[in-house]
Amino acid sequence: KQEVTQIPAALSVPEGENLVLNCSFTDSAIYNLQWFRQDPGKGLTSLLLIQSSQREQTSGRLNASLDKSSGRSTLYIAASQPGDSATYLCAVGVSGNTPLVFGKGTRLSVIA
Amino acid sequence: GAVVSQHPSRVICKSGTSVKIECRSLDFQATTMFWYRQFPKKSLMLMATSNEGSKATYEQGVEKDKFLINHASLTLSTLTVTSAHPEDSSFYICSARQANTEAFFGQGTRLTVV
């Protein structure tokens, strides 16, 4: 059974710092991996999608990497801003049409 | 990106009544949608998989008679919380995957049962 773990559970950094959020999964046979952002009381916003054949994806200040063999993904946020404060969720797709398996998230606070 | 619209965003109902939550994929067809429940400061808990034209598949421990799911078309799934009780108060979120790849989520529905 696929399990997804995110470390750390919470992180507080000063504005402007670069930071890395970690995600690990137990079964390397994944279909894809997705990073989401969730603001309090809101739904999930898709940030980056990495297909199983890809190593990384970039969008603006965000870069996500995927190492299937070691069961790891990282989300790199450059030059963090207070507006980046949110919970970041990593989720693994086991196949094309099954529900994603979620980690418990990392709660990020960027202090001005 | 694709949009999944969920309605209502907030609802308050009396104990014993039923509440219907709608989830629509606005610009793509979704043969499968997923319903999640989220407790405060917790991650998402999958409740059921909604299949267009057939019965939903419920996760272990989720009462199918209490959480009725209907997926009548390729763009609409509904979750009805029947005979709601205060313990059903929660944040409910739906999701659909576009072309079996990227997953998109609705805005969520905050249900409060008084």
Query: Residue B1: what pLDDT?
Result: 63
Query: Residue B102: what pLDDT?
Result: 84
Across the range B78-95, mean pLDDT stands at 96
Q: Residue A99: is the preceding peptide bond cis (ω within 30°)? A: no
Residue type, A55: R
Q: How far apart are CA A46 and CA A36, in angstroms?
A: 5
Chain A residues touching B106 at Cβ < 8 A: 43
Confidence of residue B100 (pLDDT cuts 50, 70, 90): low
CB of B105 within 8 Å of a chain A CB? The answer is yes
Q: Among B40-49, B55-64, B66-75, B99-108, whose mean pLDDT is lowest? A: B99-108
Interface of A with B in 72-111 (CB under 8 A): 89, 91, 93, 96-100, 102-105
List of residues 6+ apart from A104 with CB closer than 8 A: A5, A6, A9, B42, B43
Check A104 against B108: CB less than 8 A apart: no
Residues in chain A: 112
- Among B49, B97, B105, whose Cβ lies nearest the Cβ of A44? B105
CB of B92 within 8 Å of a chain A CB? The answer is no
Q: What is the pLDDT along chain A (112 residues), one digit of tens a residue?
A: 899 999 999 999 999 999 999 999 999 999 999 999 999 888 899 999 999 999 999 999 999 999 999 999 999 999 999 999 999 999 999 887 788 999 999 999 999 9
Confidence of residue B101 (pLDDT cuts 50, 70, 90): confident
Tokens representing A63 are 């870069």
Query: Residue B87: what pLDDT?
Result: 95
CB of B12 within 8 Å of a chain A CB? The answer is no
Longest dimension (CA), chain A: 41
B3-60: pLDDT as tens digits: 899 999 999 999 999 999 999 999 888 888 999 999 888 888 999 999 888 889 999 9
